């Protein structure tokens, strides 16, 4: 895979990307601000949400067992997967048992995380992505660039071109309505004819054994009810104790994600079709996936397991807003991704993610479950330093600076010397357009010429 | 992030407190007049100010680079240099936050140093919050006929709750009018080592910031952290903008008539 810097450079060089990201994230930012202002007691709701998740994460075994018992009682079958591969194997196996040739899939970040699209393709199973954005990136053969809007990196014009090229009965007019209609025609027959429906879950409700999904297109309902089998894949941290807890989280989720008070569709599924039901799948399977989550809990990342995947942190991140999601090179982008990716895929090769952050704290300010993202990112930086993954130049620089900073008298001398050197290199005038060793700075901005004498020297000489 | 609007230790509303000024390495080397402005405003606000000789840098670069051992070492030295005064005052939100928020964190497991870190944290203030909240001071004698716009630097804003204090202080400067800055609470892309490690991303961020500053039509850009100011002023100057940049405390000290950042004395 390309390096973070290469991907970043490509992203920064793409003017369309900036337009597309700004349209979506900018709107989301403004709408969230309005929604939060209109929500009396938002702060208390965040505190409570964080407490609910912390309680569940600390008692995960209890709640998972309760969920399994209740889901089973409702007629579903619960499977456990320790790794991504195990999870995919279980899903593929179930599809084969159902004799599935096509599956209708409703958007799920966990599905992306475990590589399910790839596993289904390998097994020769045709996958119909029923979420509009997922459908777009399936046509483009790309990966999601945002956890709420997987295709946020594409402009309307780019989407139109894709539909014209791939749809059997493409739109004639280039309006949003006509494009949506074209997608609807394309997808609906696929949804209705699929053998298996696969979804993720926004919440797993322990005391009823229900799963909850949230969509704005209704595609989950349409793709999960008609097929003979419904398979759910969900991370074990998605659990909440009760329906009341789920609804509390839902109030925060939609407002944080899109600024809407509620999502268009919120559905709770408990078990398959019962005797006398008019519709619903004959079988419901729930695959509970660990894939590093219990390890995160044990290794100081328990707070990250609070995440309800709302995307607010990335929408408000100055870095994400410049480089978009693909630059992060993994399933989860933005601040939450920079914490999660090293936990899921290992730190080596991903150490750039934690340092590509200004630690400005905005992500933590907007996170509905108060995850201390900057602190967790700093934690990865420390581990990266301990494991020697930081560049030698940085290590040497910090070591040299620290050596001097420990010796105040020498430090004074060194500052004096550095100032003389910088002033010499800066040349005439107050601003330097170019400074040796400071190319990273002066490539883009001017550097103010430093003072002739430091504060400490002048103060020491009696100036006040 | 919890925003602390008032310091836990209000016990020392001393008549004439002895204040240790922590100058910050950036102010020391790049713009000493911020240090002198701090001396003047603190004296005007009725403080006895000392500048402890043993101070160097608070260790923030090491802390943010992940070099915890070095950060801890420099934290201990800084604590030793700054304890024993009524208050410690710093003309930088990010250095003040390092001492107030991060020293207690990184020394948490050290039975000897943890109480000292906590004690120092409780007495440490960002200068604008200190002048406003603790001293209740106003720059009554200062006037500056100009329009200015204010950028809220991230650490001061989110780790220390510095937001209204600078605006209240600047509001008392005769002739100065403040213009709101679109996105005033969003990061300028400096981020300490971030701007040298990822110059291209940093540039893209500060480019937008500079455009927003320009769009206010203000004469002056003010903020409370020299790092952010150098970043924004450097970009503004590269783009040919006429906006001039000062640390807020320079304005409060009546030094707004002098050279701005990047102007020769
Ligand atoms: S970390 Fe917080 S803000 Fe980011 S996606 Fe998760 S819950 Fe939302």
Q: Are A163 and A171 in contact (CB under 8 A)?
A: yes
**Are B204 and B124 in a shared domain?**
no
Domain with B29, as residue range(s), is 18-132
Q: Please give the structure tokens belonging to residue B171.
A: 């509001």
Topology of the domain covering A14-293: Rossmann fold (3.40.50)
CB contact under 8 A, B36 and A464: yes
Q: Please give the structure tokens belonging to residue B125.
A: 């203030």
Domain locations in chain A as residue ranges: 14-293, 396-460
**pLDDT above 50: residue B11:** no
Q: Please give the structure tokens belonging to residue B14.
A: 């001393």
Q: What is the pLDDT of residues B225-241, one digit of tens each?
A: 999 999 999 999 999 99
Q: Phi, psi at residue B212, to the nearest 5°?
A: -65, -40
According to the model, what pLDDT value does residue A172 have? 84
Write down which residue in B132, B157, B180 finishes a domain: B132
Residue B205 sits in a domain whose CATH number is 3.40.50.11810
**Are B154 and B115 in a shared domain?**
no
Cα B75 to Cα A50: distance, rounded to the nearest angstrom: 31
- Beta carbons within 8 Å of A398's beta carbon, 6+ residues apart: B61, B62, B65, B67, B70
B215 interface with A at CB cutoff 8 Å: no
Closest approach of B185 to chain A, Cα-based (Å) = 9
The answer to whether residue B9 is domain-embedded is: no
**Are B96 and B67 in a shared domain?**
yes
Task: Calculate the CA dihedral of residues B210, B215, B218, B219 and round it to 10 degrees.
Answer: 50
DSSP A449: P
The answer to whether residue B10 is domain-embedded is: no
Q: Are A3 and A352 in contact (CB under 8 A)?
A: yes
What is the bridge-based pairing of β-strands A210-215 and B124-126? unpaired
CB contact under 8 A, B199 and A408: no
**Are B117 and B79 in a shared domain?**
yes
Cα A421 to Cα B236: distance, rounded to the nearest angstrom: 25
Domains in chain B: how many in total? 2
Angle, CA of A367, A372 and A374, to the nearest 5°: 105
What is the bridge-based pairing of β-strands A265-269 and A210-215? antiparallel
Q: What is the pLDDT of residues B91-104, one digit of tens each?
A: 999 999 999 999 99
For residue A457, what is the nearest residue in chain B, using CA coordinates? B28
**Are B71 and B126 in a shared domain?**
yes
Q: Which of B66, B159, B200 sits opposite A8 (nearest CB)?
A: B200
**pLDDT above 80: residue B5:** no
**Are B113 and B175 in a shared domain?**
no
Angle, CA of A210, A211 and A215, to the nearest 5°: 140
What b/e string do you get for B170-183 counting C-beta neighbours within 10 Å, with b at 16 or more?
Answer: beebeebebeebee
- The residue whose CB lies within 8 Å of the most ligand 1 atoms, and thus the one to mutate among A312, A319, A337, is A312
Cα A307 to Cα A235: distance, rounded to the nearest angstrom: 11
Q: Which is nearest to A20 in space by CA: A408, A341, A363, A326?
A: A326
Distance from the alpha carbon of residue A430 to the mean position of ligand 1, in angstroms: 44
Longest Cα separation, chain B: 54
**Are B162 and B231 in a shared domain?**
yes
Question: Judged by CB atoms within 8 Å, which residues 222-261 of B form the interface with A?
Answer: 230-231, 233-235, 237-238, 259, 261
Helix (H, G, I), strand (E, B) or coil at B96: helix
Distance from the alpha carbon of residue A197 to the mean position of ligand 1, in angstroms: 27
Cα A202 to Cα A32: distance, rounded to the nearest angstrom: 20
DSSP A195: S
Please give the helix or strand (H or E) that residue A1 lies within, else none. Answer: none
The answer to whether residue B67 is domain-embedded is: yes
Nearest atom (ligand 1) to Cα of A373: 1
Q: Which of B159, B238, B261 sits opposite A361 (nearest CB)?
A: B159
Cα B94 to Cα B77: distance, rounded to the nearest angstrom: 18
Q: Please give the structure tokens belonging to residue B156.
A: 């001061």
Let me know how long chain B is.
265
Cα B32 to Cα B23: distance, rounded to the nearest angstrom: 9
SS3 sequence, A428-444?
Answer: CCCEECCCCCCHHHHCC
Helix (H, G, I), strand (E, B) or coil at B239: coil
Task: Find tokens 């009760």 and name the residue.
Answer: A242
Q: Which residues of A touch B55 (CB under 8 A)?
A: 408
**Are B237 and B154 in a shared domain?**
yes
Cα A389 to Cα A381: distance, rounded to the nearest angstrom: 9
According to the model, what pLDDT value does residue A401 have? 94
Between the alpha carbon of residue A13 and those of residues A2, A19, A353, A444, the distances in Å are 16, 12, 19, 15
According to the model, what pLDDT value does residue A10 have? 96
Q: What does the DSSP assignment read for A336-373?
A: HHHHHHHHHH-STTTHHHHHS-----HHHHH-TT---H
SS3 sequence, B124-166?
Answer: EEEHHHHHHHHCCCCCCCCEEEEEEEECCCHHHHHHHCCCHHH
Cα A199 to Cα A219: distance, rounded to the nearest angstrom: 10
According to the model, what pLDDT value does residue B2 have? 40
DSSP A389: -
The answer to whether residue B47 is domain-embedded is: yes
Write down which residue in B88, B116, B132 finishes a domain: B132
Task: Find tokens 């040497």 and name the residue.
Answer: A396
- Beta carbons within 8 Å of A278's beta carbon, 6+ residues apart: none
**pLDDT above 90: residue B167:** yes
Q: Are A285 and A230 in contact (CB under 8 A)?
A: yes
Task: Calculate the CA dihedral of residues A235, A238, A241, A243 and round it to 10 degrees.
Answer: -120
- The residue whose CB lies within 8 Å of the most ligand 1 atoms, and thus the one to mutate among A308, A319, A364, A372, is A308
According to the model, what pLDDT value does residue B38 have? 98
A121 burial via Cβ count (<10 Å: 0-12, 13-18, 19+) = exposed
**Are B153 and B242 in a shared domain?**
yes
According to the model, what pLDDT value does residue A1 have? 66
Cα A376 to Cα A300: distance, rounded to the nearest angstrom: 9
Q: Please give the structure tokens belonging to residue A241.
A: 């104790």
Question: Which residue has its alpha carbon closest to ligand 1 atom 2?
Answer: A367
CB contact under 8 A, B191 and A357: yes
The answer to whether residue B6 is domain-embedded is: no
Q: How confident is the model at residue B1 (pLDDT cuts 50, 70, 90)?
A: very low
Cα A288 to Cα A293: distance, rounded to the nearest angstrom: 11
Task: Find tokens 């937001």 and name the residue.
Answer: B163
**Are B88 and B174 in a shared domain?**
no
Write down the ipTM of this complex.
0.95
The answer to whether residue B152 is domain-embedded is: yes
Q: How confident is the model at residue B13 (pLDDT cuts 50, 70, 90)?
A: low
Cα A313 to Cα A315: distance, rounded to the nearest angstrom: 6
Q: Which of A191-195, A270-274, B159-163, B166-170 has the weakest average pLDDT?
A: A191-195
CA B74 to chain CA mean position, Å = 19
Helix (H, G, I), strand (E, B) or coil at A5: helix
For residue A18, what is the nearest residue in chain B, using CA coordinates? B204
CB contact under 8 A, B73 and A406: yes
pTM: 0.95
According to the model, what pLDDT value does residue A145 have? 96
- Lining residues, ligand 1, CB within 6 Å: A 256, 307-313, 336, 366-369, 371
The answer to whether residue B3 is domain-embedded is: no
Cα A393 to Cα A440: distance, rounded to the nearest angstrom: 14
Helix (H, G, I), strand (E, B) or coil at A212: strand
According to the model, what pLDDT value does residue B6 have? 44
Between the alpha carbon of residue A453 and those of residues A412, B224, B247, the distances in Å are 10, 22, 19
**Are B125 and B170 in a shared domain?**
no
What is the bridge-based pairing of β-strands B174-179 and B220-223? unpaired
The answer to whether residue B4 is domain-embedded is: no
Cα B216 to Cα B140: distance, rounded to the nearest angstrom: 26
**Are B144 and B126 in a shared domain?**
no
Question: Which residue has its alpha carbon closest to ligand 1 atom 4?
Answer: A313
Q: How confident is the model at residue B44 (pLDDT cuts 50, 70, 90)?
A: very high
Q: Which residues of chain A have pLDDT under 50?
A: none
Write down which residue in B96, B114, B132 finishes a domain: B132
Query: In percent, how much of chain B has pLDDT > 70?
Result: 95
Q: Are A57 and A304 in contact (CB under 8 A)?
A: no
Between the alpha carbon of residue A57 and those of residues A241, A258, A305, the distances in Å are 11, 26, 7
Q: Which of B185, B202, B234 sits opposite A448 (nearest CB)?
A: B234
Q: What does the DSSP assignment read for A58-87?
A: HTHHHHHHHHHHHHHHTT-EEEEESSHHHH
CB atoms within 10 A of CB A15: 8
């Amino acid at each position: 895979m390309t390096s973070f810097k290469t991907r970043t450079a490509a992203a920064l060089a793409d003017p369309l990307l900036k337009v597309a990201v700004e349209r979506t994230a900018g709107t989301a930012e403004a709408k969230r601000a309005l929604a939060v202002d209109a929500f009396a007691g938002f702060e208390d709701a965040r505190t409570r949400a964080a407490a609910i998740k912390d309680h569940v994460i600390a008692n995960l075994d209890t709640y998972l067992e309760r969920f399994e018992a209740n889901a089973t009682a409702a007629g579903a079958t619960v499977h456990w997967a320790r790794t991504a591969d195990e999870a995919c194997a279980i899903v593929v196996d179930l599809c084969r048992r159902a004799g599935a040739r096509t599956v209708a899939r409703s958007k799920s970040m966990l599905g992306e995380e475990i590589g399910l699209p790839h596993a289904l393709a390998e097994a020769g199973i045709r996958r119909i992505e029923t979420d509009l954005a997922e459908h777009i990136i399936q046509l483009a053969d790309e990966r999601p660039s945002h956890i709420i809007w997987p295709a946020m990196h594409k402009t309307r014009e780019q989407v139109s071109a894709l539909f014209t090229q791939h749809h059997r009965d493409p739109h004639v007019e280039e309006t949003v309505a006509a494009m949506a209609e074209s997608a609807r025609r394309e997808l609906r027959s696929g949804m209705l004819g699929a053998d298996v429906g696969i979804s993720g879950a926004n919440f797993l409700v322990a005391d009823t054994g229900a799963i909850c999904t949230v969509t704005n297109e209704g595609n989950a309902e349409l793709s999960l009810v008609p097929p003979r089998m419904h398979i759910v894949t969900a991370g074990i941290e998605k659990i909440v104790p009760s329906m009341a807890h789920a609804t509390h989280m839902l109030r925060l989720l939609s407002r944080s994600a899109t600024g809407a008070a509620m999502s268009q569709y919120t559905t709770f599924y408990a078990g398959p079709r019962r005797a006398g039901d008019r519709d619903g799948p004959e079988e419901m399977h729930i695959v509970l996936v660990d894939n590093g989550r219990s390890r995160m809990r044990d290794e100081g990342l328990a707070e990250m397991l609070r995440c309800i995947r709302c995307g607010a942190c990335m929408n408000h991140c100055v870095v994400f807003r410049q480089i978009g999601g693909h630059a992060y090179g993994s399933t989860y982008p933005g601040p939450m991704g920079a914490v999660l990716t090293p936990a899921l895929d290992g730190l080596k090769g991903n150490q750039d993610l934690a340092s590509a952050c200004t630690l400005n704290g905005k992500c933590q300010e907007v996170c509905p479950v108060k995850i201390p993202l900057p602190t967790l990112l700093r934690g990865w930086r420390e581990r990266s330093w301990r494991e020697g993954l930081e560049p030698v130049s940085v290590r040497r620089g910090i070591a040299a600076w620290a050596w001097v900073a420990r010796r105040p008298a020498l430090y004074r001398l060194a500052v004096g010397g550095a100032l003389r050197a910088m002033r010499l290199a800066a040349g005439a005038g107050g601003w330097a357009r170019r400074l040796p060793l400071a190319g990273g700075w002066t490539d883009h901005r001017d550097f103010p010429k430093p003072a002739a004498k430091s504060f400490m020297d002048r103060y020491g000489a009696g100036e006040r | 992030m919890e925003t602390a609007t008032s310091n836990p230790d209000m016990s020392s509303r001393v008549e004439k407190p002895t204040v240790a000024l922590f100058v910050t390495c950036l102010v020391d080397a790049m713009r000493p007049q911020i240090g002198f402005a701090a001396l003047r405003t603190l004296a005007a606000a009725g403080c006895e100010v000392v500048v402890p000789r043993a101070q160097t840098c608070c260790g923030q670069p090491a802390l943010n680079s992940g070099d915890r051992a070095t950060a801890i070492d420099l934290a201990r030295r800084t604590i030793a240099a700054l304890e024993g005064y009524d208050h410690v005052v710093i003309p930088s939100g990010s250095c003040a936050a390092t001492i107030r928020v991060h020293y207690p964190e990184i020394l948490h497991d050290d039975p000897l140093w943890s109480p000292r870190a906590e004690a120092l944290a409780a007495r440490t203030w960002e200068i604008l919050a200190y002048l406003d909240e603790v001293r209740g001071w106003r720059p009554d004698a200062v006037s500056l006929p100009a329009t200015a716009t204010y950028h809220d630097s991230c650490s001061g804003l989110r780790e220390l709750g510095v937001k209204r204090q600078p605006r209240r202080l600047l509001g008392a400067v005769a002739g100065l009018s403040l213009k709101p800055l679109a996105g005033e609470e969003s990061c300028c892309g400096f981020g300490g080592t971030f701007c040298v490690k990822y110059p291209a991303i940093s540039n893209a961020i500060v480019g937008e910031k500079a455009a927003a500053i320009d769009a206010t039509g203000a004469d002056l850009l003010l903020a409370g952290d020299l790092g952010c100011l150098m970043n924004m002023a450097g970009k503004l100057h590269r783009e040919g903008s006429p906006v001039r940049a000062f640390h807020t405390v320079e304005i409060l000290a009546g030094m707004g008539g002098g050279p701005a950042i990047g102007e020769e004395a």
